[in-house]
Structures are given as C-alpha cells and as structure tokens.
Structure 1
Amino acid sequence: MNRPGRPASRWLLLLFLVGTFVSADESLYYPAASDGGPNASLVIHGALDLPQMSPLLEGFHRQNPGLEVHYRNLTTLALHERFLAAPDEADVLLSSAMPWQYRLANAGHARSLDSPAAYRWPAWARWRHELFAITFEPIVMVVNETVIERFGEVRGHADLLALLERHAETLQGKVVTYDPAISGAGYTYAIEESRLSPRYWDLVAALGQADTELVETTGAMLEGLIEGRYLVGYNLLGSYARARLADQPQLRIVMPEDYTLVTQRLALIPHQAPHPAAAERFMDYLIDKTGQTVLARETSLGAIHPALEGAGTATSLRQERGETLRPIILGPSLLATLDDLKREALLSRWQREFSRRASR
C-alpha cells in the first residue's frame, strides 16, 4: 500500500492489462463494455493491495461488463479519514482495520444488505446486515533462514522474545514491525495481543531493545525483508507474505504455535453511496460462493464461505491449526478499543515499553 503523498512503487507505470487500467495512484479501472444506464458505475475504496484485489474485480467485472468499476487502494487510516471527509464518494469500503470499520457501522454510516446471500452469511462474520467479514487472514512472523541456522527455530512468541533478549545487539536495526501510532491494523493487533498475552509488554520492550524499525504497512516490511535490510518481521499479514515470498526460500513464514491472531477484512456500503444498486451487487458477489471461490483459488486472503473447503479457506485453516487461532471478534469490543482515552493510554504505554530498555 502507498503512504499518503508518496508515489506508488511497483505500480508507477501506466498499464493496460486485459482491459484494466492500473494508474500511478494505486488504483484500478475497468471500463464499461456497454451503456449500462445511469447507475452503471461502482466506486470502491479499499485497504487491499492491487495484486490481491484485481482477481476479485476481474471476476466481478466479467459477470457485470456493463458496470464501470473504479478501485482506489489506500492505507487503513487514510481510507477512514477520506470517508469522513467525503461520505458520498465511495460505494463500498473495504478495510482490515476492523475497529474503524465497526465504528462507522455502529455510528449509522452503513446501509443494510437485505439479500439471500447476506442472510446465509455466518453470524460470526457479520454485524447485523451492515458489516461483513470477507477474509480470514492469520498474522504471522517472517524469519530469515540465517537467523534460524545461527540461533535456532522461532516457533512462537516466546521464542521470538528469547531471541530478541539474547541477541538484541546482533539484531540491531534488523527487525521490523508495525508502528501502532500510524497504522490502524498495527494498533488493532497491539491491543488484541495486550489482552491475549501477559508477556506482550516484555516483547514490546525487547523489540525496542533491538532498535526495531517501525513502519506503516506489511508491504514495507516485506520489501525490507526481501532486500535483506531486515532479518525478522513481526505481525505481518500472512496473506501478503504468502503471495510475496513464494519465490524467496531464504525467508520462512512462521504461524505462531502458541497463538495466532486472525484478522478479517470488513466490507460495508455507506449510507450515502452514489451507486447503491451496484454496491449491493458487488457486496453479494463478495459473500457469495462465486466471489469466495475467487478468494480461495486466486488470492491468499482466505475464504470464509462455509460451503468451501480445502486450500485457501477458513475451514481448512481451522482444521489444521485448531485452538491456536485467535480470530479478532467482530463485535462491540472493537468499538471499545477506539475510546480516545484508552487509545492514548495504550499508545503511551507502547512507546514507554518500547523505549524502556533502549534508554538504560
């Protein structure tokens, strides 16, 4: 994902791919094949990188060639702030920053989707008929094989803590994770882990001791790991890591054995969506077996649809990992994490713990 005000990197060129326009501002455009009438447009704002989003949009556009489809990729917080500034700009919002999406729906910004697909969707993966989880994405670590060869296996959070405490000097500046102050996803993971693990704050302190680099996106972590600037990455989106590291044998993806957070991208239709009929059609596609099959087969995002099994599905991952999975719950507890005083307290403690050992 692109940081605000910075040019896109891998998508800087203007490309035409199978009738799809990929622009320099991290967006995709699918022109209408024919005149679809006055509501023949669909505008989607998402925090989902283009390689993962394009198969979904291509599948939808094949089914709806008369629709002109615009997709703009933003960071999680930029997406939220842009919506608040212009609530009638987008037809669909899609983000992995679960608390921010829940806040919008809870505040009355989301339209209800009253369709057969919505009623069939699992209750744990939706809030009323206004907010829908469409993916199932573990949060992982990435470790360079040289670290494993030299210091041993890293299988979970306890192993990572021991590694950082014993070898902080060797790993100085070679570890990377989210900055929870500027990343909505990173903040979400921080508050969830602070609830899950009594040793979370020890881990934050150990990250500080190793002079860990703090960044805004998983994409930035992966680029540094691939280039060799970092040897360890903590709390990356597993979906992005699997897609980018398939041809990087020196980097191992670790799904922690003690507990693995699972995030879900939440989609909603704003009340002021300019093209509500098109938005409902797209949302139905996302939660129908057709769109979910695209998710399972052509992306690494993890499909939720209960009728789907095998690789790339939540059903398969649950069977494989069992109780170690800790999906972030879609419910009122998300809203509590965004209380201004609680947010300030968590970020203050995070910075204090991160700086504690470095200041000794």
Structure 2
Amino acid sequence: MRSGFATLLLLWLCAAPLAMAEERLHYPAAPVAGQATGQLVIHGALDLVHIRPLLERFHRQHPGIELTYRNLGTLPLYERFLATPDEVDVLISSAMPWQYRLANDGHAQPLGSAAAAAWPDWARWRQELFAFTFEPVVMVVRRELIERFGRPQSHADLLALLQRHGTALAGRVVTYDPSRSGAGYTYAIEESRLSPRYWDLVAAFGQTRAQLVDTTGEMLAGLAEGRYWLGYNLLGSYARRVVAQDPALEMVIPDDYALVTQRLALMPRQAPHPRSARRFLDFLIGLEGQRVIAEQTALGAVHPELEGQGTADRLRATHGEALRPLALGPGLLATLDDLKRQALLARWRREFSRDSAAGD
C-alpha cells in the first residue's frame, strides 16, 4: 500500500502546469581563453519558456561550461534526485515543502559567497536553500462576470459574490481540488490559518458547484474558452502570460491578502560539478540573473536592489502588507504530515458540501 507520504508526493504532479515528459535544453561548451570551463547539470520543475532566458544569459557569460537542463515534474524531479543524488548540480522546484525537506535532511551544501550571505533572510534557509522568484497566487476573471456583477477585489468581495449569485455562477467558477493538487492543498493550509472566513468561502464554492481541477493550466484553458468566468488561486506567473494575450481576461491580486509562492534552488551535497553549480547559483541570485527574471519572465525578481516592473519591490509597493509569502521554514514540513492532511481534507469536503443545494 502506498504510504501517506508517497501519496502526498504524488499530488505535487499537479502543482503547476508542467509537462510530465522530460524536456531538455543543451548548450555545448565553446571554450574561450581565460574563461571557466566545465559542465553544469540542472534539474528544474520550471517550464522552458521561463528558464530559457536565464540559461542563455548564463551560457553567454560562461561559454566554456557545457550546460544541460532537464525540465521535470515535481515528483519525478524529487524521486530522481533521491535515487541518483550525484547526477545533478542544481535542483530547482516550486514544491517548497519538498525542497525544504531535502535541505533539512542534509542533502544541500552551503553557498559560501557574498551574494548568498547578502540574500534576504526571508528568502533563504541558512545558505543552502534560496527563494529566487516571487509569484503571487491570484484570481482570474472574465469580462462577462465583471460586466454583470463587478470585479471582486478581495476575498470578502468574492465571498459576497458567490453567496449572492450562486445560481447564476453555477458551474462557472473553478479552483484547485486540494485532494489531488499539491498546490491547492498547500494553499488551503495557509488560507485556513490566515482567514477566519476561509471555510465560509469553501462552502460558497460548493454552493456555486465550483469545478475542481488539478492545475493552473486547466483553469486558464477553461477561462480562455469561456467555460469558466472566475478562477481562484491560480499561479500568477503562469496566469500573467495568458491574461496579457487575452482581452477577455483580467488578473486580480486580492487586496486583503494574497499568498506568494516561490521557486527554491539548492546545490546538492554530492553535486558532480560544484564549481559550476556555485557560479550558476551566484548568477541566479545576483543582479544580472535577477534582472533577467524581472525583464524577460513573469516569475518576479527578489533582489532587494531591483525596482520596477517584474520585481517583488514593485508588487509590495502596489499591494503592501496584503502579500503573504509562504514562510521558508519548519512550518513547511506540516504539509508532509499525513494526519494533518487527512483532517484538513475531511473538513474541506464537509464545508464544500454544506451549502451545495443553496441558490440565489
């Protein structure tokens, strides 16, 4: 029988709309006199469209380093690492609890650079695990909903909307199924801690017969097609790109509170090419790499010296204390506790079905 821990790991297959088959980028070495040579192997749960600008910039800086990137789902990435911890130099994942567990269990080695020491305390654990993106969890709404009912700007607005117009919105709301989605489950844990009205919101989702899916990608596809009018708790970095290309959609960062998830990077203790790994991590959390994130991706740069569009600084200036980054610390391990998971999911199902027969 599958253990509770293994079952929960399986849920992280649904944490983001990533391809399950391995995708790969390869940059052959082109040695230049006086520059570093070597190899670098990176495994990441990060789509090629987001990671490619970073890899290309790094390779232009270090053309003598042969670079291989494998894009894996979060579960394959984690399991492959545990099976062969000496084949990869840098590990990147959005599955924050599992990255933290790897570091906490002694699988990461410290980065002893000035950049690592200066990295914000809230975005690193010791000098072994580094949060290098800043990705709010958002709502996406269609124009039809805004024209008919107005734009929900907060969770309170959303709750009122669902309670008042449950019949009109029946089947047109979509969110994560926390029993199948690792992301949805993690967000449910955090929201139940943050808001005393969270369980009322779950009941309101049930009232509107909200559709429950596994990924942000499924939500965005349904919103773009018009099957859904409102999506809740989408990963903002993925939503932003779709919304920017579709005038029928708007992205809303709630102004009362908005969870923020982050990609975590570590250098394994058995990394086969540690010099190259250190160079890449220094680049990733350095000004140049972070500037690439800000200007060429939707991931959100963390570097405290960067301002303007595409940065955590800009998001904080706009949304202030409403932004609630998932804390990088021991609390993440609670996500891996099977008894706590069973208790939360039991209540979620109970609240979701509580008012399912209610109407307008």
TM-score (norm 2): 0.87
Counterpart position of 2:107? 109
Matched, 1:55 2:63: no
5+ long unaligned stretches in structure 1: 13-23
Counterpart position of 1:20? none
For 1:27, the aligned partner's letter is R
Residue 35 of structure 1 deviates from its aligned partner by 9.6
Matched, 1:26 2:10: no
> Do the aligned partners of residues 4 and 301 (structure 1) sit closer, same or farther apart at CA in structure 2, a change above 3 Å counting?
closer
Post-superposition Cα deviations, 1:124-149, rounded to whole Å, max 9, x if no partner, equal: 11000010010111111000010111
5+ long unaligned stretches in structure 2: 1-10
Residue 334 of structure 1 deviates from its aligned partner by 1.5
Residue 356 of structure 1 deviates from its aligned partner by 3.4
Post-superposition Cα deviations, 1:251-306, rounded to whole Å, max 9, x if no partner, equal: 01011011111111111112222322222111111101110010111111111111
Q: Which consecutive aligned stretches of 4+ in structure 1 deviate over 6 angstroms post-superposition?
A: 3-6, 9-12, 35-39
Post-superposition Cα deviations, 1:307-346, rounded to whole Å, max 9, x if no partner, equal: 1111111112212211111121111222233222212222
Counterpart position of 2:236? 238
RMSD: 2.8
Counterpart position of 2:350? 352
For 2:85, the aligned partner's letter is P
CA contact (8 A) 1:43 1:70 kept: yes
Residue 235 of structure 1 deviates from its aligned partner by 0.6
Q: Pick from 271, 287, 290: which aligns with 1:289?
A: 287
Counterpart position of 1:133? 131
Q: Following the alignment from structure 2 to structure 1, what is the Cα–Cα distance between the partners of residues 300 and 292?
A: 10
Counterpart position of 1:199? 197
> Do the aligned partners of residues 78 and 178 (structure 1) sit closer, same or farther apart at CA in structure 2, a change above 3 Å counting?
farther
TM-score (norm 1): 0.87
For 2:183, the aligned partner's letter is A
Residue 236 of structure 1 deviates from its aligned partner by 1.0
Counterpart position of 1:123? 121
DSSP 3-state at the match of 1:337: helix
Residue 58 of structure 1 deviates from its aligned partner by 1.1
Matched, 1:156 2:154: yes
Residue 357 of structure 1 deviates from its aligned partner by 3.2
Q: Following the alignment from structure 1 to structure 2, what is the Cα–Cα distance between the partners of residues 71 and 177?
A: 31
For 2:29, the aligned partner's letter is A
> Do the aligned partners of residues 87 and 214 (structure 1) sit closer, same or farther apart at CA in structure 2, a change above 3 Å counting?
farther
Counterpart position of 2:185? 187
195-204 or 327-336: which moved more?
327-336
For 2:138, the aligned partner's letter is V
CA contact (8 A) 1:99 1:188 kept: no
50-59 or 38-47: which moved more?
38-47
DSSP 3-state at the match of 1:205: helix
> Do the aligned partners of residues 179 and 282 (structure 1) sit closer, same or farther apart at CA in structure 2, a change above 3 Å counting?
farther
CA contact (8 A) 1:239 1:301 kept: yes
Matched, 1:96 2:94: yes
